[in-house]
């Protein structure tokens, strides 16, 4: 991810990738509230070390918001139970 850095000696873990994704989209730090982690990534951030190996970090953003600095992003849109988009 562009704009998110870590020291070279830090192990590349799913938790590290979740933290980087959260920082990149403003889910934590500056800009908090415009995005959130979802699925396995949210569980990992809450301490549940249960994600399958190789699962992607899932980021949830409001319809219309874009994060062009993220690489390898798969966009999915669907209706939520309240009738909005997710």
pLDDT at res. 84? 52
- Cα–Cα distances in angstroms (integers) from residue 36 to residues 11, 58, 86, in the given order: 24, 9, 11
Q: Which is more confidently placed, 85 or 49? A: 49
HSE-CB at 1 with a 13 A cutoff on CA atoms is: 20
**pLDDT confidence band for 86 (50 / 70 / 90):** very low
**Angle 12-48-11 from CA coordinates, rounded to 5°:** 10
Report the mean per-residue pLDDT for the chain. Answer: 75
Higher pLDDT, 61 or 14: 14
Separation of alpha carbons 41 and 53, rounded Å: 12
């Amino acid at each position: 991810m562009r704009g998110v850095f870590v020291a070279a000696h830090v192990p590349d873990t799913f938790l590290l990738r979740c933290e980087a994704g959260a920082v990149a989209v403003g889910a934590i730090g500056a800009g908090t509230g415009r995005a959130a982690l979802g699925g396995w990534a949210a569980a990992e951030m809450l301490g549940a070390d249960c994600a399958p190996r190789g699962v992607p970090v899932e980021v949830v953003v409001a319809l219309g918001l874009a994060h062009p600095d993220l690489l390898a992003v798969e966009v999915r849109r669907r209706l939520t139970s309240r009738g909005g988009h997710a």
